[in-house]
Amino acid sequence: MPKVTVLGGGRVGSAIALDLVGSGFAVEVADASEEALARFSTVPGLATRRVDLTEEAAVAKAVRDCDIVVGAVPGFLGYGVLRSVLGAGKPAVDISFFGEDALALEPLARKAGVAAIVGAFLAGIALSESVTRRVHDLAYGVSELLVPFFLAGIGLHLDVSIFARPGTLALGLAMLLAAVVSEVAGCGLGSLSLGRSEAIRVGVGMVPRGEVGMVVAQIGLGLGVIGDEIYGVAVFMAVMTTIAAPPLLKWAYRDATAGAPTVGQSASM
């Protein structure tokens, strides 16, 4: 059974720890607060450890016997804790929202042969069913504010001149075709039980690659595992599949909308 050490027993860390225990993982929560750790005393399969997370040696000792580490400490501790975890040679998922540049730790992670996944996705999953509607509304507002900056960052790293090379343009078109065909065929075959028309609609609806492809490409570019050419092709594929989805969906639903009344037209006419 995989063992996970969760660093930080606050609201986010506790939600993650309880979710992992419920999924069958062996979990240990490490925190400096005895009060925070006391909340887990009645949870079967969940161990606790009192640790001063500001000390590198203490963090390294706390994660020594685990398979993976989840960092859920306050932002001002996040960077130092993640550095200590990577220095101990442990893979980490960090959701501490620190202000420092996480990619600066890439040489340390590469030297240790581990990966650091930095993001809020895991925190969102852990809190999705426990927070109020107000939190969902606030998160939506923040995402509406920050997504344009994320997309601007993607664009700033893109060198459009690479598409002047015939080989790069051909690779981009081939990737686009493969992305569309694989989604339509794979998801369509999986939903054939719904009928041919619905299977096509499901497959077409799954065509957009969007942010996921862009995030992976940006991480790969930042880590130096891909160059500008491959990055450009990946972004081209993600953008074009997103642009292609609306007309493809309109085509897939042409039969369903053929007999529907238009705006201003009476259904009785």
Could you tell me the domains of the chain?
3-127 (3.40.50.720), 160-256 (no CATH)
Place of tokens 């942010």: 211
Any residues with CB less than 8 A from the CB of 174 and at least 6 apart, and which? none
Position 260 scores a pLDDT of 54
Position 56 scores a pLDDT of 93
Residue 92, beta-bridge partner list? 69, 116
- Please give the chain's pLDDT, 269 residues, in tens: 678 999 999 988 888 888 888 878 889 999 999 999 998 988 988 999 999 999 999 999 999 999 889 999 998 999 999 999 989 988 888 888 777 877 778 777 777 776 555 545 555 655 566 556 776 776 677 677 767 776 777 787 888 899 888 899 999 999 999 989 998 899 888 888 888 889 989 989 988 877 777 877 877 787 678 888 998 999 899 889 888 889 988 998 887 765 555 545 544 44
- Regarding pTM above 0.85, the answer is no
Which of 165-168's residues contact partners 24+ apart within 8 Å by CB, and which partners?
A: 165/229, 168/229, 168/232, 168/233
> Rounded to whole angstroms, what are the CA distances from 42 to 30, 47, 67, 221?
16, 10, 24, 45
Q: Is there a contact between 262 and 254 (Cβ–Cβ < 8 Å)?
A: no
Strands 3-7 and 92-94, by their bridges, are: unpaired
Q: Is there a contact between 46 and 27 (Cβ–Cβ < 8 Å)?
A: yes
Residue 22, beta-bridge partner list? none
Dist. CA 191–CA 200, nearest whole Å: 9
DSSP state of 209: -
Position 266 scores a pLDDT of 46
How many CA atoms lie within 13 Å of 218's alpha carbon, on the beta-carbon side?
19
Burial 4-25 (b: 16+ CB within 10 A, else e): bbbbbbeebbbbbbbbbbeeeb
